[in-house]
Amino acid sequence: MKLADYTIDDFRTSDEMERAMFADAGIEKTSETEYRVPSSSGRGVYTVKFEGRTEDDFATLWECSCPAFKICKHVRQVTDIIDHVSDQYGMD
Ligand SMILES: [Zn+2]
């Protein structure tokens, strides 16, 4: 499914929508700030973590355990979902 396929009409709460989107993407939310994201090759799982150290662009506050140049696609996967849910429900 594409991000745009998830709309506010299909979910009762933003949490429910976020959970469904992460589950469909194969992403496991292991804590408030940590996610386990499968590699696209299917050979590994990377840890994406919200560090929140700076006031810069939202995506730069994230770290991923993969060796790719940051911002990597694993961080993007997580932040795109969070951004989409925020857009649908408005900021808390
Ligand atoms: Zn990564």
Q: Is residue 84 part of a domain?
A: no
Rg (CA), the chain: 13
Q: Is residue 81 part of a domain?
A: no
41 falls in which pLDDT band (50, 70, 90)? confident
What gap in Å lies between CA 82 and CA 74, rounded to an integer?
13
What gap in Å lies between CA 26 and CA 39, rounded to an integer?
10
Residue-wise pLDDT for 58-83, tens only, equals 556 889 999 998 789 999 999 999 99
Residue 54: what pLDDT?
62
Å from CA of 76 to ligand 1 middle: 9
Q: How many domains does the chain have?
A: 1
Q: Which domain holds residue 61?
A: 3-69
Residue 39: what pLDDT?
94
Å from CA of 36 to ligand 1 middle: 10
pTM exceeds 0.75:
yes
Q: Is residue 63 part of a domain?
A: yes
Q: Is residue 48 part of a domain?
A: yes
Q: Is residue 80 part of a domain?
A: no
91 falls in which pLDDT band (50, 70, 90)? low
Residue 71: what pLDDT?
85
Å from CA of 65 to ligand 1 middle: 6
